Chain A
Amino acid sequence: MSDIIKKPEPGRVARALDSDIAYSFRKSPLAIVAASVSLLIILAAVFAPWIAPHDPFNPATLNLMDGFTPPMEPNQFTGNTYWLGTDNQGRDVFSTILYGARISLFVGFMAVAFAMVLGITLGLIAGYRGGWIDSLLMRVADVQLTFPSILLALLIFGVARGFIPPAYREAMAIWVLIVAIGLSEWVQYARVVRGATMVEKSKEYVQAARVIGAHPAKILIRHILPNVMGPVLVIATIGLALAIIAEATLSFLGVGVPSTQPSLGTLIRIGQGFLFSGDWWILLFPSLTLLALALSVNLLGDWLRDALNPRLR
């Protein structure tokens, strides 16, 4: 029965894609640097509990006397030395950055995953069903695209926060944040998938599937997903950078993650308060980390787009 349905050779597309990308990657020093920096920060964040010299969230290990230690200098009271210094509460800045990046990346990846699942599902539905569902979804997408995604995330976050009973607000903040950022970024996935679905829908193998009684939607998904993998990967990479920036922005504004779980944005907000007293390191190192992360993921996405050259616009 499967002989009737003409399928592309499995894995062939993927293999060709792979080798092209690998070649383009080796040829681009910028991509190599960007990938290395991203990977380094991601690994450091994942393994933060093992790498971090201190546990910044364990009050038992903190010593207020250690506060405001400049980087690479022994503390005047305790004699302890910290690579990147300490903050006002004596927390090791290097450790807080590792744990902060962990939160930032967690929110970023989860938001991207949420946006991707939502966007792909809605895109498939819109493309396959057409009709009023399609027009409705695309109108919503159009309207949503006129708003900047950070603003949208902020508005959704604010509204959602309002609906959550005060007792749960802190505990659910991270998840609300993830949903808010995800909701602000689903449109592009939906557009790409919808376009691909509409092209595939009219092809013969789908008609053939209909004839032999298989559910065409099932087959569509199997064929469309490999086709849109490239563009979706590009959108997801750039989306990750956007999500990280959105999370940092919201947390910087004091409305994102709770202060008990500081992300890079929270750390920058805290650090800004110590600028005028000359304790620059509390601000600088989290800022540099965020900058390196956002820039390298962004560059990686740009490179990926050029390498795959999908028609994203």
Chain B
Amino acid sequence: MTAFILRRLAQSVIVMLTVALVAFALFRFVGDPIASMVGQETTLAERAEIRAALGLDDPFLVQFWNFIARAVTGDFGISYRLQQPVMELILSRLPATLELALVSGILAFVFGVGFGVYTALRRGGWASSTIMTVSLIGVSLPTFLIGVLLIWVFAVELQWLPSFGRGETVYVGDWWRTGLLTESGRASLILPAITLGLYQMTLIMRLVRAEMLEVLRTDYIKFARARGLSNRAVNFGHALKNTLVPVITITGLQMGSIIAFSIITETVFQWPGVGALFINSVRFVDVPVMAAYLMLIALVFVVINLIVDLLYYAVDPRLRVDRANARH
């Protein structure tokens, strides 16, 4: 078990270092860092002095090391465009993204598992067929188009829900601004959350359905039925629990995708989150923000992957022993 986790950790570190290298390269080689800091009248000598002071003459590895050391403490410099420390910018926008991602993730998981189980148990019913057909369209629809269409129907035509922004937000603690506690905040969250969660929901649903059908065919389910266990015990106690093993992995990984896809949703709904910040940084080649976002998203994925691995262990007793045995 420890060996396994250590191996995964090592792998994560390698991924993070690779991403850091890309981010560092962006910093170091895109444009002239000096030019963006000093005025036109600065002499060449002065520039060289600043160069040396900033460590830009140091060997590559030293500079890379310094970059990582600063990144670990959250120092990504100052945004070219907004003239604010990057970390401050990201932290102030993180709550918006996390709230959106969390609500979408819960929506996707609850409805995905629910519909998946339903369509697996009621194979061939008209409700199941309808759900399956709609889900096929859901998979093919680009996320941004779903958002635009939702805005058209519910914000423009019906005028039930706001089309952009977070609504009214209040502070919880020192820096966390939440929209979940106000009515307009919750109303503003509905359309973006559906937009962001729909695709993931379809994926989870199809996965749960396929896994469930597979599990329902296994011998241990037949044996459970042959022992006279109730339908509920067989379907939910035995079949669903076994289905959830792979579903948890995929759902966990979907959380990463949700945070990633929030870039699109946030742009469509002008949601003031990290994703919208990133898109603007790409548009204006705001390197410090881009680099920080790269590192952030890589970190999110690496951490989620680790958590999913650990969860896998918690749910499936076979892995615990197989790994332990493998060491002997």
CB within 8 Å of B: which residues of A? Answer: 143, 146-148, 150-151, 154-155, 157-159, 161-163, 166, 241, 245, 248-249, 252-255, 265, 268, 272, 275-276, 280, 283, 287, 290-291, 294-295, 298-299
Contacts and interface: CB of A to CB of B under 8 A. Distances in A.
Contacts of A147: 256, 260, 301
Contact of B263 (A154, A241, A291, A295): A154
Interface stretch (B82-90, B148-156, B185-193, B238-246): B148-156
Given A146-B256, A151-B260, A295 B140 contact: yes
Contact of B156 (A159, A241, A276, A295): A276
Contact of B261 (A146, A150, A157, A163): A150
Given A155-B294, A255-B279, A287-B149, A294 B140 contact: yes
A283 B26 CA distance: 36
A154 B294 CA distance: 11
A147 B139 CA distance: 17
A162 B149 contact: no
A248 B268 CA distance: 13
Interface in B275-325: 278-279, 281-283, 285, 287, 290, 294, 297, 301, 305
B171 interface: no
Interface of B: 15, 22, 26, 29-30, 137, 139-145, 148-149, 151-152, 156, 163, 253, 256-257, 260-261, 263-264, 267-268, 278-279, 281-283, 285, 287, 290, 294, 297, 301, 305
Contacts of A143: 15
B22 A287 contact: no
A151 B261 contact: yes
20 contacts: A146-B253, A147-B256, A148-B261, A151-B297, A155-B294, A158-B281, A159-B22, A161-B285, A248-B145, A252-B144, A252-B267, A253-B279, A255-B283, A276-B163, A287-B148, A290-B145, A291-B141, A294-B140, A294-B141, A298-B139
A143 B12 CA distance: 10
A162 B26 CA distance: 7
Nearest to B199: A148
A272 B152 CA distance: 9
Nearest 9 Cβ contacts at the A-B interface: A151-B260, A158-B282, A162-B30, A298-B140, A295-B140, A245-B142, A148-B257, A252-B144, A255-B282
A17 B139 CA distance: 28
A275 B264 contact: no
Nearest to B23: A159
Nearest to B286: A162
A259 B287 CA distance: 22
B11 to A, nearest CB: 8
Contacts of A249: 142-144, 264
A283 B283 contact: no
A268 B145 contact: yes
A76 to B, nearest CB: 23
A291 B145 contact: yes
B156 A162 contact: no
**Residue in B144, B257, B279, B290 whose Cβ sees the most chain A Cβ within 10 Å:** B144
Contacts of A283: 148, 152
Contacts of A248: 142, 144-145
**Residue in B137, B264, B281 whose Cβ sees the most chain A Cβ within 10 Å:** B264
Contacts of B263: 151, 154, 253
A34 to B, nearest CB: 11
A148 B260 contact: yes
B305 A146 contact: yes
Contacts of A280: 152
A166 B163 CA distance: 34
B301 A146 contact: yes
A163 B268 CA distance: 27
A157 B278 CA distance: 12
B137 A295 contact: yes
Contacts of A265: 144
Contact of A163 (B30, B148, B253): B30
A142 to B, nearest CB: 9
Contacts of A159: 22, 26, 290, 294
B238 to A, nearest CB: 25
Given A151-B260, A276-B156, A161 B149 contact: no
A9 B261 CA distance: 48
B140 A241 contact: yes
Contact of B283 (A155, A252, A254, A290): A254
Nearest to A288: B145
A151 B278 CA distance: 12
B144 to A, nearest CB: 5
A272 B163 CA distance: 11
Contacts of A161: 282, 285
A154 B278 CA distance: 10
A155 B261 CA distance: 12
A255 B264 CA distance: 11
B292 to A, nearest CB: 12
